[in-house]
Amino acid sequence: MSAVERLVVIVLFDGVDLLDVTGPPEVFSLARRETEAAAGYQVVLAAGTLDAVTTSAGVRVLPDITFHEASARRIDTLLVPGSVEVDGRRRVHALTDPAVVGWVRTLAGRARRVASVCVGAHLLAAAGLLDGRRATTHWSTADQLAAEHPLVEVDADPIFIRDGDVWTGAGISACLDLSLALVADDLGEPVALRVARQLVMYLKRPSGQSQFSVPLEPVSTTRRVEDLRHHIMRNIGGRLTVADLAAYAHVSERQVTRIFKAELGTTPSAYVEAARVEVARNQLESTDATLERIVSDCGFGTTDTLVRAFRRRLGTTPTDYRRRFRATAGRGT
């Protein structure tokens, strides 16, 4: 490894989420391609042995080195993915193998920085690396992380969080956002921007942007919630208070709040705001509609309300969002 290369060690074990393992190397590889200098990354997969590891997708992956071999090297970035099990009621539970946790603790001591992807935060927490820190994970296991590790300040909303030399990322595809943020931190925003364009991604979703995304929200287990979701999207520009949603569903306001919390992990008001922001984002990206028109179409009421919602959920303003998106789309490769 040359002096300008950064060694990235990705922890590998049976049942690991496949995209958590394969997504970041794509980002780091493109970062090298997009830099004219020799600066770049060397990515290796480390496991307990050199035997093939079977991922959660059933795809088998071969490690490059063992944990023991990795512990003898100077690591720039230790990247820790995770794994889950799902019970008969579709409840998700993050898994932590004590042997893997022990190696994570050891390897972290050799690393300049440590980052978890998705439920990999549970491994960091079990290793004591998140105590006293703010961290995120996939929204489906955030309550478990908070309950099992009370010394960790769990925030389930952002797509990634940096707390000193420890980074934590949210669910699945957010591994790309986290990796882009690491590249930006190492090589600068222009390089990360070029990588994002190659990945056909919006660069770069701010760390404070919510991992909650309306079009990607998993299908609910009840027809009532699905009806409510469709009602919200059909009437995005109209009144959608908790009282309005309760009346539509023929339940009390307290009951509709309980339904949203149990089925979608959020409140009715937060869901409506997220839905409105998603629709507004699409209009900013694909139309020349004025902010006043977007306010009306999306039901924000006032421009100030629109701006506040964007700052809260995306960490930027509607004007800056549109400018950044169009600037990215308009540059040549």
Q: What is the DSSP letter of 210?
A: B
Q: Would you put residue 326 in left (φ > 0), alpha (ψ -120 to 50) or beta?
A: alpha
Residue 193, pLDDT score: 77
Domain 5-198 has CATH 3.40.50.880: yes
pTM of the model: 0.65
- Report the catalytic residues: 118
User: What pLDDT, on a 0 to 100 scale, did the predictor assign at position 2?
Assistant: 45
Task: Return the structure tokens found at 1.
Answer: 């490894």
What pLDDT sits at residue 278?
Answer: 86
* Residue 219 confidence (pLDDT): 45
**What residue ranges of the chain are covered by domains with CATH 1.10.10.60?**
214-330
The DSSP code sequence of 2-31 is -TTEEEEEEE--TT--HHHHHHHHHHHHHH
44 phi and psi, to 5 degrees?
Answer: -130, 150
pLDDT for res 200: 65
Pairing verdict, β 166-169 and 111-116: parallel
The conformation of residue 204, written as its DSSP 8-state character, comes to T
Contacts of 39 (CB under 8 A, 6+ apart): 4, 5, 32, 187
Nearest to 140 by CA among 181, 82, 183, 179: 82
Parallel, antiparallel or unpaired: strands 60-61 and 53-54: antiparallel
- Every domain range in the chain assigned CATH 3.40.50.880: 5-198
Q: What residues have CB less than 8 Å from 103, skipping those under 6 apart? A: 11, 48, 67, 71
Question: Which CATH fold would you assign to the domain 214-330?
Answer: Arc Repressor Mutant, subunit A (1.10.10)
Residues of the chain scoring pLDDT < 50: 1-3, 203-204, 206-209, 215-220, 327-333
